Amino acid sequence: MTELFRRFAKSGSLRQRARQVIPGGGHTYAKGDDQYPLLAPGFIERGSGCHVWDVDGNEYIEFGMGNRAVGLGHAYPDVLKAVETALRSGSNFTRPARIEVDCAETFLDLVPAAEMVKFCKDGSDATSGAIRLARAYTGRDLVACCADHPFFSTDDWFIGTTVMNAGIPETVRQLTVTFRYNDIDSVRQLFASHPGKIAAVILEASRTDEPGDGFLHNVQRICRENGALFVLDEMITGFRWNTGGAQAEYAIEPDLSCFGKALANGFSVSALTGKREYMRLGGLDHTDRPRVFLLSTTHGAETHALAAAIATMNIYRNEPVIEHVYRQGRLLADGIEQAAKRHGLADFVKVVGRPCCLTYVTLDQNQSPSQAFRSLLLQETIKRGVLMPSLVVSYTHDDAAIAETIDVVDAALAIYARAMDDGVGKHLVGRPSHQVFRRFNQPDDDHAGVVPCLP
């Protein structure tokens, strides 16, 4: 066991330093120590393609891909070349840069339903910008978001709906109501309960489940009948489901939509886009309505980030990226499902989602979702050189990487099967991981993921 800890000695030391100066030790909850088992890399040093190396020099095939932000692969050469070229001319100026127009035109050419676009830095800014526009346009206060989709924004209008709502006034919490995905009656009920008060409905087009019985189009119709805006969160689906986003895949035209994640292959670019009728309220040309203070960010149009976005979008347009991630995702899902069957775990370890954006479910002996078994599977795959908080493939996940991953998961599932018989506690080192959204930290959270420093 000491040797296993020694494998992450530098990560352990760095964790202790990080948690003294950064709340939680990092800047994204999904990357936190509490999301991983004790025996896990704490910090990544570098990445190339579908591989990453941690600060201790351990190499992994990676399937988180920057929480789905890296669609092509880490340090993708064509994207880096575009970034380097842009940086030589400066990154931020007093007036807009020409590349802002170039990037907007490139984006709108890929997303034909959109008529105007404004770039920003993260998904929360884009979705919150959409909510502000909808409220301004409709003159209404309430927002309806899908309760089955885990994250829309760090801002109060969404976080107030979660159990981590400390610091958010009750009056703000009451301004967001929720409905269920693929449950059109729950949408109808909201509008019936709040007539003339809902400004917008926001949801992801799909996640692990596909929209059934015309759900998206029916939600849009209800919005139009009731004077509310229909908003799609395309942070994940954009540039994975289809080069034109899920809206192109499902042939639906939202009033507003929000893109990010894979838009710039890991560089910080997100986008609020939509119909001119709504987007123009953030501009200078209208006189019929009040001005909307919309996405004014000093760093929102840094030239190197927009250069990364243009290069990324051009690759998506000219190369079979979408086809590749679907193909590799299918190979990965098939291989893992076969391995689960071999170990008698088909009812306990399940691959879910679209092939282009897979994740997995870990169940205990009672077929209930289990953080302990999830942690065990992570621990055993990490031990064998695969880092898979999800099963998200990139353009650089080749057949060799998929085959190696399937072999690693197969070996890890052998341990999982043993743990089903003699208890997960006999195989998992330390505490299990936790859910991000919880009201209080657990007693062991102060030490979560802190590996002892060893000489």
CA distance 380 to 163: 31
Type and span of the H or E element at 127: helix 123-138
Give the contacts of 443 (CB within 8 A, at least 6 positions apart): none
Q: State the sign of the Cα–Cα–Cα–Cα dihedral 226, 227, 233, 234.
A: positive
8 A C-beta contact, residue 127 and residue 154: no
Task: Return the percent helix, strand and coil in the chain, to nearest 5.
Answer: 45, 15, 40
Q: What is the pLDDT of residue 446?
A: 44
Beta bridge partner(s), residue 119:
271
Strands, sheet with 270-274, edge to edge from the N-terminal-most edge strand: 116-120, 270-274, 256-259, 229-234, 198-203, 142-146, 176-179
pLDDT of res. 244: 95
Same domain, 297 and 188: yes
**Looking at the domain assignment, is residue 313 inside a domain?**
no
Which residues neighbour 88 within 8 Å (Cβ) at sequence distance 6 or greater?
Answer: none
The H or E element spanning position 350 is strand 349-352
Domain limit, last residue, from 247, 267, 301:
301
Q: Does residue 105 sit in the same domain as residue 236?
A: yes
- Extract the tokens encoding 383: 């031990």
Q: Is there a single domain that holds both residue 201 and residue 241?
A: yes
- Does 287 share its domain with 340? no
Give the residue from 301, 335, 369 where a domain finishes.
301
- 311, part of any domain: no
Sign of the Cα pseudo-torsion (334, 339, 340, 342, in order): positive
**pLDDT the model gives residue 13:** 85
The domain of 228 spans 92-301
Last residue of a domain, one of 301, 336, 351: 301
- Angle, CA 253 vertex, CA 248 and CA 258 arms, to 5°: 80
How far from the centroid of its chain's Cα atoms is residue 229's Cα?
Answer: 23
Contacts of 178 (CB under 8 A, 6+ apart): 144, 145, 146, 147, 161
**Are 276 and 116 spatial neighbours (Cβ–Cβ below 8 Å)?**
yes
Same domain? For 223 and 326 the reply is no
What whole-number distance in Å separates Cα of residue 8 and Cα of residue 454?
A: 9
Instruction: Say if 367 falls within a structural domain.
Output: yes
Within 8 A by CB and 6+ apart from 406, the residues are 332, 335, 336, 339
Q: What's the pLDDT score for residue 452? A: 35
Same domain as 171, residue 265: yes
Per the structure, the count of domains in the chain is: 2
**If you search the block for the tokens 């931020």, which residue do you land on?**
92
- Answer yes or no: do 326 and 417 share one domain: yes
pLDDT of 156 reads 87
Which residues are CB-neighbours of 152 under 8 A, at least 6 positions away?
Answer: 124, 127, 145, 158, 202, 233
Separation in Å, CA 333 to CA 141, 330, 338, 359, 392: 43, 5, 9, 9, 11
Residue 455 domain flag: no
Integer Cα distance of 25 and 372 in angstroms: 22
Backbone phi and psi for residue 257, each to the nearest 5 degrees, phi listed first = -145, 160
Whose tokens are 């071999």? That residue is: 342
410 & 289 share domain: no
Task: Determine the Cα–Cα distance for residues 216 and 201; give it in Å rounded to an integer.
Answer: 11
Q: Name the residue type at position 357.
A: C
pLDDT in single tens digits along all 455 residues of the chain: 565 668 888 888 888 888 888 887 777 767 777 788 888 898 999 999 999 999 999 999 999 899 999 999 999 999 999 999 999 999 999 999 999 999 999 999 999 889 999 999 999 999 999 999 999 999 999 999 999 998 899 888 999 998 888 999 999 999 999 999 999 999 999 999 999 999 999 999 999 899 999 999 999 999 999 999 999 999 999 999 999 999 999 999 999 999 999 899 999 999 999 999 999 999 999 999 998 989 888 898 999 999 999 999 999 999 999 999 999 999 999 999 999 999 999 999 999 999 999 999 999 999 999 999 999 999 999 999 999 999 999 999 999 999 999 999 999 999 999 999 999 999 999 887 777 666 777 765 544 433 333 33
How far apart (Å, rounded) are the C-alpha atoms in residues 352 and 176?
A: 29
Q: Which two tokens stand for residue 355?
A: 């092939």
DSSP string covering 55-71: TT--EEEESSHHHHT-S
| CATH (domain of 207) | 3.40.640.10
Same domain, 128 and 211: yes
CA angle 245, 250, 254 (to 5 degrees): 70
Which tokens belong to 248?
């192109």
20 assigned to some structural domain:
yes
135 inside domain? yes
Is residue 312 in a domain? no
Pair 432, 373 in one domain? yes
Indicate whether 101 and 43 sit together in one domain: no
* CATH code, domain carrying 333: 3.90.1150.10
**Burial degree of 235 (CB within 10 A; 0-12, 13-18, 19+):** buried
Give the closest residue to 321 by CA, choosing from 403, 250, 238, 253: 238
Report yes or no on 82 lying in a domain: no
List residues bridging with 202 in a β-sheet. Answer: 145, 231
**Rounded to whole angstroms, how far apart are CA atoms 8 and 43?**
9
Strand partners, 386: 61
For the purposes of burial, counting CB atoms within 10 Å of the CB of 314, is it exposed (0-12), middle (13-18) or buried (19 or more)?
middle
Instruction: Please list the residues that pair with 145 across neighbouring strands.
Output: 178, 202
Neighbour count for residue 1 (Cβ, 10 Å): 7
Does 423 lie in the same domain as 363?
yes
